[in-house]
Each structure stands twice: as structure tokens, then as C-alpha cells.
Amino acid sequence: MPGHDVIVVGAGITGLASAYHIKRNNPDMSVCLVEKEKTYAQGNTGRSAAGFRDTFTSEMNYILSSSSIEFYKHVQNKLGFNLGMDSCGYLFLLESGKLDSPAIKKVMSRSRGKIVSASDVENSGINTKPEKDVAEMMNLPEIGGGFLGENCGIIEPDLICSFYDSELRKMGVELKYGTKVNSLSLAPTKTLDYPGEPFLWQDKTINSLETNSGELKAEKYVLCTDVWTTDLLAPLGIDSHTLPKKRQIFQASGKEVQNMVSKRMDGSEGTFPFLILPSCGIYLRPEPKSKSFWISTADDIGRPYSYEEDPQPEKDFYNLGMLPVAQEYIPQIKNSKITSSWAGHYAYNTIDKTHYIFESLNVIVATGTSGSGIMKGDSAGRVVSAIVSGEKTAKTFTNRVINVDELGIKKRKVEIEELVI
């Protein structure tokens, strides 16, 4: 007799949102959340740059992100639970030829935003014309203007997780922090009690989770274990379809950075937009609390797909890679100091860079968040919940309908995203 109806593994944003929607939609179900760390948001959720945007070219990404953003706004503004949400905007700095590209046109047709002129960009303190020799050597384009996404900004993932965690407690979900799942144990659906089961010809199911504090049983299991998913699925012969890649963040602080971060583009009081440079995918995330910029990039060729147990930020990667590019456009960081740095991983869906949410046996897997799992977290949780309930469609917070199969493997229907950061 199973101990629970559902066990969700992983207390990052995906697992917490999934457990929350499963329990909300099925109050009679016994739901348990298992996490190897002592509390929530200790995996990649807590290492995130935590920007949010609805500026995607793929319809699926737009639905997942815009609905989650509305839900987070609802939590902060209507339920009064502070999520540190600040709609400071995302400013994509672009070469002049890219300002009216099909990607920008597509995004502008449904997301709130506007084109910003080169002189407005320049007046906000950004250098649009990198020095000629440097520009030639480092392939740095001149900035011809920008696209400012207005339904975009920054959020605090710890606080979103804290919201879900407190709701789970109120709803009676059992939270097992400090519990590591070592493996999923495969068994025949009808046991013969014969050594060596399950045999080739027997139907199979996941019978239990083997953890550091014993065996846990449920009817269904949900894996929201991000880059750790492959370790749990591969021994069963199930493909996670994802690969890990290291990602690093460097916090740059200093007087000039402080002045820039604490103002909007037009100089009024507020927060400078999240900046995306036109070169190397480098971005600067404003951090109003410490009045610093978090500087990062999703580097591609040369950065291996591999998992590091304790990923460390690489000073040379910043000093020789990101800084020389970033300071050409943002001179304010020339005299800044690195006051903190950390690293984590993206769990990449290497094809279309959107979540994979699929069912295999009695396990539902939600992974492949590809660097945008915070901003799509609530919607992903709703899709997981629909699959647990055996439904074909999930409804997002904004009442958009998602055919759950479209985020799966066999009947997947997700466009390749063109605006990847």
C-alpha cells in the first residue's frame, strides 16, 4: 500500500510550484515533497540571476513566462507576499540593422515594449560606440538603439520559494528536507516474488524511492531535479534529454555602478533596466539592494556540457572574457570591484531551450529549464499538476490553455526560441 499519492522530488521553483498546484487541484491527495538540502532554493534556483521577461519569439515560451509573471504579480500585489519583484524592464541593446528584425517585430506584436533610440541609450550612460581598434579586435558592434521590454524585470527566487513553501505547509503537504533520493526502484506491476524481477516480459512501474532515510512509496513520482535528473533516470533506461552547462555570476560594485543601478534610463528614481549587450550574450542584472550589477553570460562554444559537483566562478573568465567587452559599453564598470561571485548550471534542452515535461511509467519529469526556469516556474507547475491528474490540457494563471503533450517528447510542439540570452 503506497505511503503517498504523489511524491515530488526537488524543492527548487519547479518542484515547489508543482507540489503547490497538485495539492491545490487535488486537496484529498496525500502529497509529499522530498529535498536533499536542508531547505528550499539551494540548487540552481538560489543561484539564478532571477530576471523575468515575457519577450520570447516562441508562443510556448511566451505563454509559460507571461502567465507566471502575472501569477507572481498577483502574489505580490494582491496577496501581499513580497517577492522582491521590480518591473525595471529588459533593455536589449542592438545593432541598428537588428532593431526591426523579425524576432523583435514578433516580440513587439504581443509583449509590452518599445524601441529606444541610440541617443536615449547614450543619454542613459551607455557608450554606443566602442573604441575603433578594440571594436575591430573584439568584434564589438556599434549600438543603434534598443528594445525595452516593459513586462520584464527582476525578482527574488528565495521569496517565491518561501511563498510556495508556506502555502504547502498550510495545505498539509509533507515536507521532507534533508532527504536525498539515491535511486528509483523498478518493479513489475504484478509481482511473482521471483528473484531477478522485473523480467523483460513484465510490465514495469516505479515501486519506491530509495533515500538516505529509508524507502518512500507513492502511486506517482514527480522529478523536478534539474541537472540531477539524469543521475536518477539513466539507471532505469529513461532519457532525461538534457545536458548541464556551468553558468557564473560576478557582482560588480562601485560608486559609478551604484549611481547607474539606482536610476531608470531617464534619470528618474528607480532601477536601471536589466541590460543585454549586443556582443557575446553578456548581460548586466541590476541588484538594487546592494546597488551593484550582476554580470553574466550563457557562453556556448568552448564551455563544455558537463556537471561540476561544486561549481566555482572563474576569475579569468570574467577578467579576460566578460569585463573587456562589458566595459566598452558600460564604462561605469571600469573602476568597479567584484564583491561576490558564484556559479551554478543550466539544465539545457539542447533543441528548443524550453522545459521538457513528460511522463514515463508512473514518473513525471520536469526539467530542461534552459536558463529560464524562474520566470516560467508557476506555469510549469500547472502543467505537471495536469499530468498528475491525467488531464490533456493545463490552464495557466491567465487562462491560456496548454496541451500538455506539446511540452513532452513524442508529440512535442515548441518553436525554436530566437531570443535566447
Q: Which residues bind ligand FAD (CB under 6 A)?
A: 9-15, 34-37, 42-45, 47-51, 180-181, 224-226, 228, 232, 247, 249, 296, 344-346, 369, 371-375
Cell of 257: 555602478
Which is closer to ligand FAD, CB of 118 or CB of 164? 164
Smallest gap from residue 394 Cβ to ligand FAD (A): 17
Which is closer to ligand FAD, CB of 118 or CB of 282? 282
CA distance 42 to 212: 18
Smallest gap from residue 45 Cβ to ligand FAD (A): 3
Which is closer to ligand FAD, CB of 92 or CB of 228? 228
CA distance 295 to 338: 10
Smallest gap from residue 296 Cβ to ligand FAD (A): 6
CA distance 147 to 93: 7
Which is closer to ligand FAD, CB of 128 or CB of 349? 349
Which is closer to ligand FAD, CB of 43 or CB of 254? 43
The residues pairing with 363 across neighbouring beta strands, listed in sequence order, are 221, 360
Which is closer to ligand FAD, CB of 128 or CB of 179? 179
Exposure string of 240-265, with b = 16+ CB inside 10 Å and e = fewer, is bbbbbbbbbbbbbbbeebeebbebeb
The alpha carbon of residue 160 and the mean position of all alpha carbons in its chain are separated, in whole angstroms, by 13
The pairing of beta strand 363-367 with beta strand 356-360: antiparallel
C-alpha angle 196/199/200, rounded to 5°?
150
Which is closer to ligand FAD, CB of 99 or CB of 272? 272
Smallest gap from residue 299 Cβ to ligand FAD (A): 11
CA distance 177 to 37: 6
Smallest gap from residue 353 Cβ to ligand FAD (A): 11
Smallest gap from residue 363 Cβ to ligand FAD (A): 13
Which H or E run contains 106? helix 102-108
CA distance 371 to 421: 8
Which is closer to ligand FAD, CB of 227 or CB of 330? 227
CA distance 20 to 350: 28
Which is closer to ligand FAD, CB of 12 or CB of 89? 12
Which is closer to ligand FAD, CB of 106 or CB of 376? 376
The residues pairing with 252 across neighbouring beta strands, listed in sequence order, are 293, 338
Cell of 123: 543619454
Q: What are phi and psi of 57, to 5 degrees?
A: -85, -30
Smallest gap from residue 25 Cβ to ligand FAD (A): 19
C-alpha angle 373/223/192, rounded to 5°?
165
Smallest gap from residue 331 Cβ to ligand FAD (A): 24
CA distance 119 to 122: 5
> In terms of residues, how long is the chain?
421
Smallest gap from residue 74 Cβ to ligand FAD (A): 18
Smallest gap from residue 142 Cβ to ligand FAD (A): 27
Nearest residue to 61 via CA among 396, 410, 365? 396
